[in-house]
């Protein structure tokens, strides 16, 4: 290694040992991947918390060889491939950054576990001294992923040069809301009209502000803004079209009230309460855009993984250093009680909404994995015969479901809801608001309560058979096992030539569901 690339002289590595010592300590303890840009590319570059969190990455729980940034939203994803780092999600553009050298270090304070330090040819965000002269409006793009409808709306209207294009877009949205009638059975036509509206808006914006390099970011923002603006009208039509599917799901959810992971065949070591995942998933119906809904699915899976890992650490054998690995089959089964407790009556509508009303997102990232996982869990829940499980459940167990007050109380202790480091701030905020003001957390819990109460009312209502999104008629029953037979395997056996990088779960789902989603133009 050249002297200028020696870690002892690298300003970023020096900052990790001084200013950002706590970040580096956590990275060593958790064996994160540390990417150190070459010294000569850091001249004149401010090393702040965002820069540090972009270059300290944790292994993806979903894809082998991929890593996620350690900021609170995990907004960036990279892959390590053949001596290069490929930027996948959350960056201004996809690029390859060459790995100059690799060092294996050990967290000697924490049981001498190894972690990797990669010296790379430039910063992962692509901004070096030669490129810092870009205008502020250009550099804003891609700094962080915008998830909510409000964030994307604010972003689009932050560029005055695009005002003409946005006025035209608002006019088209208003005409759709006021004049367009979504006829039963012709929802696809409405979807195509919205897709065309988004494509035209992206073209108009690019003509005015010349940001072709950020076309994916602009397209995603436009889609979120358009679909979020017409959400109420479209969501009602989607729920109507998926009524048959949701009626079947309602019967299954009622049948499985109180079911446990052990009864479904989950390994005993992974069985534990998952209140955080239930709270997260309970917000799904109230979200307005496909990106918001996808992010909710991902946060739910993250919560399941973290709550299971906490349970494993609490019950770990003191003589063992390794924790059992939660595989995809167990994850799918663990989601079933979560779906039951969160009362996800509109899960088929949410999946239809996600698949058909977004056109710019990648299907190969963590969001795509989350969608496929929930589809697999729903398909398993809908097709399997659980009658023999219900027959063996006691009356107490049948009613053993988290109530809304209990759910709210459990949410205050969930792992992902208040992220690490936020408890102190939340406690201080609670004390400051003790005179009667509601915190944002309280408001979210109140929103969850209202949604779950509405779901309870829908559970009590009589189902109305209607055409399903799969094209089945109202009288066609789903195929399921006979009474008393064993719960079927979640994932069927597949050929041994599946792609190794995807893992057994995603490889097996390539035939069942496919890896791509969203309507293709």
DSSP character string of 257-303: TT--HHHHT--GGG----HHHHHHHTTGGG--SHHHHHHHHHHHHHH
As to burial, measured by CB atoms within 10 angstroms (0-12 exposed, 13-18 middle, 19+ buried), residue 510 is middle
Residues with Cβ within 8 Å of residue 421, at least 6 apart in sequence = none
Q: Which of 205, 196, 380, 227 is nearest to 294 (CA)?
A: 227
- Where are the strands (E) in 341-401, listed by range? none
What pLDDT, on a 0 to 100 scale, did the predictor assign at position 400? 54
The pLDDT assigned to 392 comes to: 65
Give the pLDDT confidence score for residue 86 in this predicted structure. 93
Q: Are 382 and 519 contacting, i.e. CB atoms less than 8 angstroms apart? A: no
Distance (Å, rounded) from C-alpha 399 to C-alpha 354?
32
What is the DSSP pairing of strand 56-59 with strand 33-37? antiparallel
Q: At what angle do helices 440-460 and 243-255 cross, to 10 degrees?
A: 100
In the chain the first and final C-alpha atoms are separated, in Å, by 49
The reported pLDDT for the residue numbered 453 is 56
SS3 call for 86? strand
Q: How far apart are CA 440 and CA 371, in angstroms?
A: 28
Q: Which long-range contacts (CB under 8 A, 24 or more apart) does 421-427 make?
A: none
Task: Compute CA distances 298 → 180, 192, 376, 441, 509, whole Å.
Answer: 33, 27, 14, 20, 18
- As a whole number of angstroms, the distance between CA 146 and CA 285 comes to 19
How far is it, in rounded angstroms, from Cα 356 to Cα 234? Answer: 11
From the number of C-beta atoms within 10 Å of its C-beta (0-12, 13-18, 19+), residue 286 rates as middle
Rounded CA gap, 515 and 361, in Å? 12
Q: What pLDDT shows up at residue 516?
A: 41
Domain covering 242-419+438-512 in this structure, CATH number: 1.20.1050.80
Yes or no: say if 225 and 152 are a contact pair by the CB < 8 Å rule.
Answer: yes
The rounded distance, in Å, linking the Cα atoms of 177 and 190 is 11
- pLDDT tens over the chain, length 521 residues: 444 457 878 889 988 988 888 899 999 988 999 999 998 888 778 889 999 999 999 999 888 889 999 998 888 999 999 889 999 988 888 889 999 998 888 876 556 788 999 999 999 987 654 333 333 333 333 444 688 899 998 888 888 888 899 999 999 999 999 999 999 889 999 999 999 999 999 999 988 887 666 788 889 999 999 999 999 999 999 999 999 999 999 999 888 888 888 888 888 888 888 998 999 999 999 999 999 999 999 999 989 988 988 888 888 776 666 677 777 888 889 999 999 998 888 999 999 999 999 888 765 567 888 899 999 999 998 888 887 776 666 555 555 555 545 555 555 544 334 433 333 344 444 444 443 444 444 555 555 555 555 555 554 554 444 333 334 444 444 444 443 444 444 434 434 444 444 444 444 444 444 444 444 44
- CA 426 centroid distance within chain: 24
Q: Residue 35 and residue 98: Cα distance in Å, rounded?
A: 11
Please tell us whether the domain made up of 3-131 is placed in CATH 2.30.180. Answer: yes
- pTM for the model: 0.57
Would strands 33-37 and 113-120 be described as parallel, antiparallel, or unpaired?
A: parallel
Question: By C-alpha distance, which of 85, 118, 139, 144 is closest to 12?
Answer: 118
Enter the tokens of residue 17: 């040992």
Residue 362 and residue 107: Cα distance in Å, rounded? Answer: 36
Contact 284, 384 (CB under 8 A): no
d(CA 243, CA 344): 13
Q: Which two tokens stand for residue 400?
A: 């053993």
């Amino acid at each position: 290694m050249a002297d200028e690339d020696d870690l002892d002289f690298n300003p970023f590595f020096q900052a990790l040992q001084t200013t950002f010592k706590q970040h580096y300590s956590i990275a060593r303890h958790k064996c994160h991947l540390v990417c150190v840009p070459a010294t000569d590319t850091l001249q004149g570059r401010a090393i702040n918390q965002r820069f540090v969190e972009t270059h300290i990455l944790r292994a993806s729980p979903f894809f082998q060889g991929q890593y996620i940034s350690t900021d609170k939203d995990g907004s960036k994803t990279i892959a390590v491939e053949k001596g290069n780092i490929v930027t996948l999600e959350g960056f201004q553009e996809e690029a390859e950054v060459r790995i100059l050298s690799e060092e294996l270090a050990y967290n000697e304070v924490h049981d001498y576990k190894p972690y990797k330090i990669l010296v790379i040819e430039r910063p992962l965000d692509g901004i070096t001294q030669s490129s810092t002269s870009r205008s502020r409006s250009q550099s804003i793009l891609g700094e962080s992923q915008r998830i909510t409808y409000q964030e994307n709306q604010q972003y689009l209207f932050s560029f005055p040069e695009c005002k003409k294009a946005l006025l035209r877009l608002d006019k088209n949205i208003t005409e759709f809301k006021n004049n367009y009638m979504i006829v039963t059975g012709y929802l696809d036509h409405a979807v195509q009209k919205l897709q065309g509206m988004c494509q035209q808006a992206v073209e108009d914006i690019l003509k005015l502000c010349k940001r072709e390099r950020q076309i994916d970011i602009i397209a995603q923002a436009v889609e979120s803004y358009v679909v979020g603006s017409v959400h109420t009208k479209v969501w009602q039509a989607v729920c109507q079209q998926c009524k048959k599917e949701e009626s079947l799901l309602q019967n299954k959810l009622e049948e499985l009230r109180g079911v446990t992971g052990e009864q479904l065949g989950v390994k005993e070591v992974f069985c534990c309460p998952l209140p955080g995942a239930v709270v997260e998933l309970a917000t799904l119906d109230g979200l307005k855009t496909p990106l918001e809904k996808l992010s909710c699915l991902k946060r739910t899976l993250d919560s399941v993984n973290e709550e299971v890992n906490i349970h494993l650490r609490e019950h770990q054998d003191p003589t063992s250093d390794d924790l059992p690995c939660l595989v995809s089959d167990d994850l799918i089964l663990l989601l079933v009680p979560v779906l039951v407790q969160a009362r996800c009556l509109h899960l088929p509508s949410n999946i239809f909404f996600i698949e058909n009303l977004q056109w710019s997102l990648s299907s190969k990232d963590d969001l795509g994995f989350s969608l496929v996982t929930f589809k697999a869990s729903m398909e398993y829940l809908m097709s399997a015969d659980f009658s023999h499980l219900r027959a063996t459940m006691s009356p107490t167990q049948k009613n053993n479901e988290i109530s809304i007050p209990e759910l709210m109380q459990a949410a205050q202790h969930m792992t992902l809801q208040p992220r690490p480091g936020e408890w102190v701030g939340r406690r201080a905020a609670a004390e400051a608001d003790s005179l009667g003001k509601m915190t944002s957390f309280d408001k979210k819990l109140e929103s969850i309560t209202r949604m779950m109460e509405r779901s309870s009312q829908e559970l009590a209502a009589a189902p109305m058979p209607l055409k399903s999104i799969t094209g089945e008629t109202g009288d066609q029953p789903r195929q399921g096992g006979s009474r008393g037979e064993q719960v079927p395997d979640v994932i069927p056996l597949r050929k041994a030539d599946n792609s190794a990088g995807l893992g057994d779960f995603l490889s097996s789902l390539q035939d069942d569901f496919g890896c791509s989603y969203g309507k293709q133009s």
